[in-house]
Amino acid sequence: MADPVRIAVLVSGGGTNLQALIDAQTAGKLVSGRIAAVLSSTPDAYALTRAAQAGIPAKAVSRREAGSQQAFEAALERELDACGAEVIVLAGFLSILSEDFTSRRPRRIVNVHPSLIPAFCGKGFYGLRVHEAALARGVKLTGATVHFVNEIPDGGEIILQKAVAVRPNDTPETLQKRVMRQAEWKLLPAAVEKVCGQILKEKNRKK
């Protein structure tokens, strides 16, 4: 049997989706992959603390300090190579990756988005903006989507989706919390396990 797939989780903020992955790994729900590193685009992200508390190597790779997209992605590449990452999970990662970066990793970069793609997605739709747009449109159902990342923001193949009801008295903040609890935190570990499981099968077939 091949070893578990090595996962790098890219973050920018509090790391609640990272925590969902850590919890799934601890609970034995994420077994086909193992979190090898956490990389943050912001040095003060609480996600780095979450990683340290879980004993996972963590490091900041600052977009601002790098100075350019090319330099930033080169720094990311060095860290990904160093930890032997086979799958990259974007968990609240707020930097758009270039086509050059994503095209080298087809079906190996996974992202979670807080809507039912193709609704309320693409450039400029992140965080509370997504939920503000959903409430402004008056939709009765929203949710979350885990998808592969390609050169189009939120445009890659869908892996898993889960719907969440919108309540009449919802604010963007209450809707965001419900989508996280009922969809994102459940979907992301399940999707990462699914992707890593497929990679393990391919590896074992080649042995």
- Any idea which residues carry the catalytic annotation? 113
Residues 6+ apart with CB under 8 A from 191: 110, 112, 146, 159, 160
SS3 62: coil
* 3-state class (DSSP) for residue 128: helix
In terms of C-beta density within 10 A (0-12 exposed, 13-18 middle, 19 or more buried), how is residue 145 classed?
buried
Q: Is the dihedral of CA 84, 42, 103, 193 positive or negative?
A: positive
Type of residue found at 70: Q
Which ranges of the chain does DSSP label H, i.e. alpha helix?
16-26, 46-53, 63-66, 69-83, 99-103, 128-137, 172-179, 185-206
Q: Which two tokens stand for residue 20?
A: 């969902």
